[in-house]
Chains A and B, each alone.
Chain A
Amino acid sequence: MEYEPVIGMEVHTELSTESKIFCGCSTAFGSPPNTQVCPVCLGMPGVLPVLNKKAVEYTIRTAMALSCRITEQTSFDRKNYYYPDLPKNYQISQNYACLGYDGFLEIALGDHKKKIGITNVHLEEDAGKNLHPESGLTDDSLVDLNRAGMPLIEIVSEPDMRSIEEAMAYMTTLKNLLQYIEVSDCKMQEGHLRFEVNISIRPRGTEKLGTKVEIKNLNSMKTAIRCIEHELERQAETLNQGGKVHQETRLWDDAHNATRAMRSKEFAQDYRYFPEPDLVDVVISPEWREEIRRNLPELQDAKKERFIREYSLPEYDAAILTSSKPLADYFEKCLTVHKNPKATSNWIMTELLRELGNREIEPDECPVTPAQLAGMIQMIDNSTISGKIAKQVFSEMIESGKGPEQIVKEKGLVQISNEDEIGEIVKRVMEENPGVVETIRGGNQKPFGFLVGQVMKLTRGKANPRMVNDILRKNLL
């Protein structure tokens, strides 16, 4: 039987505020364990949370970008459960008055567009991380609370996705949007985006929803997709064999590339939500809402139009460059160093994107900085290196992370533009190929290219091609 997937998703995004949601601790990534903590995020006895206003603004901004309705008065609730990475053993979240609700995200599937409903967007605190050292002196688990209290938004979708492609489009579109509105860096490796999916299947053409399975612990889009593929197959097999899909929560096990049912204790949770008495309700005044709307960063379409207008780029280039915020930023950063928009665009669309794709990294993680790429283009534009040499320089930059000047200097790649030096080599090539010279002088221009090639060969490609042409021509007269 052919089944139709019904997929909904909860996306957790870590906000890029400077400080945590309820205290002043830094949110910087990668510090030694438990160095970005204070009594508040450690959940010490007697401490109280103080809400970070920026985190509320970022959540409203996100809700607006997802065409949500914004609540007039929001409040926080406690979600009670025990886990060592949650120092208070309750998470401050929103259950009864989410900041945003009833929105949608439009995704593109080829030429056709589809709206995926957004149930709500709410703000909460992140938990820390439990570490289980594999080899150590003890079998104890350790807890790192640097992440505890980081602001997190949860975006809950309706079960509107009907295929893996739609799920993928939803995730990438959402990530793109979150980067564009500058609320999150969306770095997968730093855990900025985490997914929970709910999946059911039903015979294609039928209306009635199948039994839903929730899957937690998906830390990248790739994992989410693998997990959806796997779960769809599992459910179809179960049904085809006459079995029943059980409503349950499953955990993705990355190591085994499979989902497993959570032990009953792990999911039979009653979170006992109740209003957080340590925080007061937050009123979202129309003025505040408008201010946030006014300050929404430039979105994708606007940026594309501006690139066409401001940099005289073809629409095709502008579309590719603005396909993600980090890429558009990379492009514009290049231009602050050396302003040759079209050449920069060409280098980014070809060499840079290929390398990023091969390495599966984001533009801002590229070993070649915008300043380095721009520096290299500048060297082409002022004839220090040829375009051909530049490709060699670029590969070298990507491999070594060195700047273009240093590479050109170390490898002796500076273009030879000295007339006497080129003249010497031209003379030598003509002497070594008297027959060819005769042919050309006899009126047949065909082997001219051969002589140019010989000069380039002797200079290992460094000779200024325009000058080689000129000097050769002069000497052949």
Chain B
Amino acid sequence: MDLHELTAEQAIGKLRKGEISSVELTRAILDRISELEPRIHAYLALDGEQSISDAEKADQRRIRGDNTPLLGIPVSIKDNICTRGIKTTCGSRILSDFIPPYDATVVTKLREAGAVLIGKTNMDEFAMGSSTENSAFQVTRNPWDTGRIPGGSSGGSAAAVAADSVPLALGSDTGGSIRAPASYCGVVGVKPTYGRVSRYGLVAYGSSLDQIGPIAGNVRDSALVLNAIAGYDPRDSTSAELPVPDYTAACGREIRGLKIGVPREYFVPGMDPEVQNLVKTAVQKLEELGAECVEISLPHTDYAISCYYICAMAEAGSNLARYDGAHYGYRTRDADNIIDMYSRTRAEGFGTEVKRRIMLGTYALSAGYYDAYYLKALKVRTLIKRDFDRAFEKLDLIATPVTPTAAFKIGEKTADPLLMYLSDIFTISLNLAGMCGLSVPCGFTGSGLPVGLQLISDIFREETLFSAAFAYEQAADHTRKKPPL
């Protein structure tokens, strides 16, 4: 087995036994990236020398007796998470030269855990998109079929993990941006409970929805990452002051007797029957493993997309106001006055989808529309959350598809934003409700494209997600299959 194919857990075992060094492992990953990047385009920034130097330090730390959980393990980071001294562009022209003077809390935590930073991964501009086609720099390809999208917005991270171009990665999820690409790329993606992971240093899109989470090749590896990044951060007032359990310990726990709800609103006409069948088969598998599955209803599901697009865009319009050319980032070359500088900088610096969302968000908050749109959306959001709260009074988990179809073709939906928005239909409610969710591979379509199963749990019940996903993964064994590269 080549070193780049090792799971993080396998690599940790070998590093601990001294069978391999972090430098060897990191070099193998960098070689793999050099080989595949011309076809996958997952990375926006790579600094091989720095990564090797970090790996050397990790090896030295180990010699000194250090044994932190991710010591010497390569990790890649979505490009909307700030890395000190390393360009953080958010996939946008407006931040194409932005080098943060500070590390996001999750990056600090990963460094403390001993991780070796490999690179920054491609994404839809400011995380706005479902295919990574909205990146200002490049289109990332799905390793299972390079004519198809990897999903978005964390498409670079998901594609890199699927292509064995890194064992672990971070993504961010505002409406499905971790789970959907994980599903399309046949890897595991976790959206933790809102407040579980610090957002400090995550460039904001929809602040009340954004959450950083792991993308990994299998369930235990994703638990390892969440162990490292979760926890209260005094720099993030919305992070929860709760103890963090050992999520890897939840992998392997008995799932017999778990109550799993299957919401009828998530199996809708128009969705791909192949996807529907794969998800239903996965639910049956969970039943075979001893879980008790029941049909439930989440009655306000239909309103989730409208609600999401008002809440997220209102926040986005305000969050993105700071990119005006005055203080940092791109500034237009010629402007006659300040207003002109603002408009030209933003007209030239932002892509179409970002502008569309800023306009929508600004509109929703405008005088005379606030009550009709924003306030109404907040009320709907409460109803959606109540759906989940009621469901979890009797349930441990909810099982649904992640996306209505497998990965679609590059360019297929770019002309129709609404069609693109609909691909998030099954992932969005979770962010609105603040719940945690995970995508685990549950099989392949006839044409060999991976499909994911979404498991949803109550707030701060990530352990239940990991137990069920791990049990399912062991029984179904889809994560061992590799893309034909």
A: which residues have CB within 8 A of B?
A: 39, 42-51, 78, 80, 82, 84, 87-90, 143, 265, 270, 272-274, 277-280
Q: Flag if B238 contacts A43 (CB, 8 Å).
A: no
Minimum Cβ distance to chain A for residue B238 (Å): 6
Which residue in B200, B326, B342, B374 is a CB contact (below 8 Å) of A48?
B200
Within the assembled complex, what's the spacing in Å between the Cα atoms of A82 and B358? 14
Minimum Cβ distance to chain A for residue B122 (Å): 17
Q: Flag if A44 contacts B100 (CB, 8 Å).
A: yes
B380-407 residues at the A interface, CB under 8 angstroms: none
Given A277-B206, A278-B237, 10 additional A-B pairs, CB 8 A: A45-B95, A45-B203, A51-B237, A80-B318, A89-B324, A143-B327, A272-B317, A272-B365, A277-B315, A278-B204
Which of chain B's residues has its CB closest to A81's CB? Answer: B321
Residues of chain A with a CB closer than 8 A to B238's CB? 48, 277-280
Within the assembled complex, what's the spacing in Å between the Cα atoms of A44 and B367? 28
Given contacts A47-B200, A50-B237, A272-B365, whether A265 and B339 have CB atoms under 8 Å apart is yes
Within the assembled complex, what's the spacing in Å between the Cα atoms of A89 and B318? 8
Residue among A45, A51, A88 with most chain B CB within 10 A: A45
Within the assembled complex, what's the spacing in Å between the Cα atoms of A436 and B98? 95
Given contacts A47-B200, A270-B366, A274-B314, whether A82 and B100 have CB atoms under 8 Å apart is no
Q: Flag if A82 contacts B321 (CB, 8 Å).
A: yes
Residues of chain A with a CB closer than 8 A to B199's CB? 48
Q: Flag if B200 contacts A46 (CB, 8 Å).
A: yes
Which of chain A's residues has its CB closest to B104's CB? Answer: A46
Which residue in A39, A45, A88, A277 is a CB contact (below 8 Å) of B90?
A45
Residues of chain B with a CB closer than 8 A to A272's CB? 317-318, 362, 365-367, 370
Residues of chain A with a CB closer than 8 A to B374's CB? 274
Q: Flag if B327 contacts A42 (CB, 8 Å).
A: yes
Q: Flag if A89 contacts B202 (CB, 8 Å).
A: no
Which of chain A's residues has its CB closest to B365's CB? Answer: A272
Minimum Cβ distance to chain A for residue B237 (Å): 5
B: which residues have CB within 8 A of A?
A: 80-82, 88, 90, 95, 98, 100-102, 104, 199-204, 206-208, 234-238, 314-315, 317-318, 321-324, 326-328, 338-339, 342, 362, 365-367, 370, 374
Minimum Cβ distance to chain A for residue B239 (Å): 9
Which of chain B's residues has its CB closest to A280's CB? Answer: B237
Q: Flag if A78 contacts B318 (CB, 8 Å).
A: yes
Given contacts A43-B327, A89-B324, A278-B207, whether A48 and B237 have CB atoms under 8 Å apart is yes
Residues of chain A with a CB closer than 8 A to B321's CB? 80, 82, 88-90
Which residue in A49, A89, A90, A143 is a CB contact (below 8 Å) of B237?
A49
Minimum Cβ distance to chain B for residue A137 (Å): 19
Within the assembled complex, what's the spacing in Å between the Cα atoms of A84 and B208? 26
Residues of chain B with a CB closer than 8 A to A39's CB? 100-102
Q: Flag if B366 contacts A43 (CB, 8 Å).
A: no
Which of chain B's residues has its CB closest to A89's CB? Answer: B321
Minimum Cβ distance to chain A for residue B124 (Å): 16
Residues of chain A with a CB closer than 8 A to B339's CB? 265
Interface of chain B, main secondary structure: loop
Residues of chain B with a CB closer than 8 A to A265's CB? 339
The 8 closest A-B pairs by CB, nearest first: A89-B321, A277-B207, A272-B365, A277-B208, A45-B203, A46-B201, A46-B203, A46-B82
Residues of chain B with a CB closer than 8 A to A278's CB? 204, 207, 237-238
Within the assembled complex, what's the spacing in Å between the Cα atoms of A80 and B314? 11
Residues of chain A with a CB closer than 8 A to B207's CB? 277-278
Residues of chain B with a CB closer than 8 A to A82's CB? 321, 324, 342
Pairs A–B under 8 Å by Cβ, sample size 21:
A39-B102, A43-B322, A44-B82, A44-B102, A45-B204, A46-B104, A47-B201, A48-B200, A49-B237, A50-B236, A80-B317, A82-B321, A84-B326, A89-B321, A89-B322, A90-B321, A270-B366, A272-B318, A277-B206, A277-B207, A278-B238
Within the assembled complex, what's the spacing in Å between the Cα atoms of A193 and B90? 40
Q: Flag if B318 contacts A274 (CB, 8 Å).
A: yes
Within the assembled complex, what's the spacing in Å between the Cα atoms of A143 and B338? 13
Within the assembled complex, what's the spacing in Å between the Cα atoms of A78 and B322? 13
Which of chain A's residues has its CB closest to B101's CB? Answer: A39
Residues of chain A with a CB closer than 8 A to B202's CB? 46
Within the assembled complex, what's the spacing in Å between the Cα atoms of A90 and B207? 14
Within the assembled complex, what's the spacing in Å between the Cα atoms of A44 and B82? 10
Which of chain B's residues has its CB closest to A88's CB? Answer: B322
Q: Flag if A279 contacts B237 (CB, 8 Å).
A: yes
Within the assembled complex, what's the spacing in Å between the Cα atoms of A183 and B315? 33
Minimum Cβ distance to chain A for residue B89 (Å): 10
Residues of chain A with a CB closer than 8 A to B366's CB? 270, 272
Which of chain B's residues has its CB closest to A282's CB? Answer: B237
Within the assembled complex, what's the spacing in Å between the Cα atoms of A84 and B206? 23
Within the assembled complex, what's the spacing in Å between the Cα atoms of A87 and B323? 9
Residues of chain A with a CB closer than 8 A to B370's CB? 272, 274
Q: Flag if A46 contacts B204 (CB, 8 Å).
A: yes
Residues of chain A with a CB closer than 8 A to B322's CB? 43, 45, 87-89
Minimum Cβ distance to chain B for residue A317 (Å): 50
Residues of chain A with a CB closer than 8 A to B236's CB? 48, 50
Which residue in A42, A84, A90, A280 is a CB contact (below 8 Å) of B338?
A84
Within the assembled complex, what's the spacing in Å between the Cα atoms of A274 and B314? 9
Which of chain A's residues has its CB closest to B206's CB? Answer: A277
Within the assembled complex, what's the spacing in Å between the Cα atoms of A402 and B90? 60
Residues of chain B with a CB closer than 8 A to A280's CB? 237-238
Residues of chain A with a CB closer than 8 A to B365's CB? 80, 272-274
Minimum Cβ distance to chain A for residue B431 (Å): 12
Within the assembled complex, what's the spacing in Å between the Cα atoms of A270 and B80? 30
Within the assembled complex, what's the spacing in Å between the Cα atoms of A45 and B87? 12
Within the assembled complex, what's the spacing in Å between the Cα atoms of A78 and B199? 19
Within the assembled complex, what's the spacing in Å between the Cα atoms of A277 and B318? 11
Within the assembled complex, what's the spacing in Å between the Cα atoms of A88 and B338? 16
Within the assembled complex, what's the spacing in Å between the Cα atoms of A45 and B238? 17
Residues of chain B with a CB closer than 8 A to A273's CB? 365
Within the assembled complex, what's the spacing in Å between the Cα atoms of A46 and B79? 12
Minimum Cβ distance to chain B for residue A6 (Å): 26
Residues of chain B with a CB closer than 8 A to A270's CB? 366-367
Within the assembled complex, what's the spacing in Å between the Cα atoms of A39 and B328? 12
Which residue in A87, A90, A279 is a CB contact (below 8 Å) of B318?
A90
Residue among A39, A49, A278 with most chain B CB within 10 A: A278
Which of chain A's residues has its CB closest to B363's CB? Answer: A272
Minimum Cβ distance to chain A for residue B241 (Å): 11
Residues of chain A with a CB closer than 8 A to B204's CB? 45-46, 278
Which of chain B's residues has its CB closest to A130's CB? Answer: B338
Minimum Cβ distance to chain B for residue A104 (Å): 30
Residues of chain A with a CB closer than 8 A to B200's CB? 46-48
Which of chain B's residues has its CB closest to A145's CB? Answer: B327
Minimum Cβ distance to chain B for residue A48 (Å): 5
Residues of chain A with a CB closer than 8 A to B362's CB? 272
Within the assembled complex, what's the spacing in Å between the Cα atoms of A261 and B237? 41
Which of chain A's residues has its CB closest to B321's CB? Answer: A89
Which residue in A45, A88, A89, A143 is a CB contact (below 8 Å) of B82?
A45
Minimum Cβ distance to chain B for residue A40 (Å): 8
Q: Flag if B324 contacts A50 (CB, 8 Å).
A: no
Within the assembled complex, what's the spacing in Å between the Cα atoms of A279 and B199? 12
Within the assembled complex, what's the spacing in Å between the Cα atoms of A84 and B331? 13
Minimum Cβ distance to chain B for residue A118 (Å): 26
Residues of chain B with a CB closer than 8 A to A89's CB? 321-322, 324
Residues of chain B with a CB closer than 8 A to A44's CB? 82, 100-102, 328
Within the assembled complex, what's the spacing in Å between the Cα atoms of A143 and B328? 13
Within the assembled complex, what's the spacing in Å between the Cα atoms of A49 and B235? 7
Residues of chain B with a CB closer than 8 A to A47's CB? 200-201
Within the assembled complex, what's the spacing in Å between the Cα atoms of A279 and B339? 30
Within the assembled complex, what's the spacing in Å between the Cα atoms of A42 and B328? 10
Within the assembled complex, what's the spacing in Å between the Cα atoms of A273 and B342? 21
Minimum Cβ distance to chain B for residue A193 (Å): 28
Residues of chain B with a CB closer than 8 A to A51's CB? 237
Residue among B88, B206, B328 with most chain A CB within 10 A: B328
Q: Flag if A46 contacts B100 (CB, 8 Å).
A: yes
Residues of chain A with a CB closer than 8 A to B95's CB? 45
Within the assembled complex, what's the spacing in Å between the Cα atoms of A45 and B324? 12
Q: Flag if A143 contacts B326 (CB, 8 Å).
A: yes
